[in-house]
Amino acid sequence: MPLEIRELVIRVNVRDNERQIDETEINRKIQEMKTKIVKECMEKLLSRIDHLNTR
């Protein structure tokens, strides 16, 4: 016999973040991530170019 749920109650407590992160810190971390992504992409691209030349 199938069971049918007609109502689902979800309760959530929302609190302010106790540790506020400075906007400049966030921007710095974003910039670091962008730099890492660009560096990794360049390494992969150069690696592919090197392999292309060896063929």
pLDDT tens-digit readout, 1-55: 777 778 878 888 877 665 666 788 888 999 999 999 999 999 999 988 888 877 5
Length of the chain: 55
Residue 52 phi/psi, 5-degree rounding, is -65, -40
pLDDT at 21: 67
Q: How many Å is the maximal CA-CA distance in the chain?
A: 66
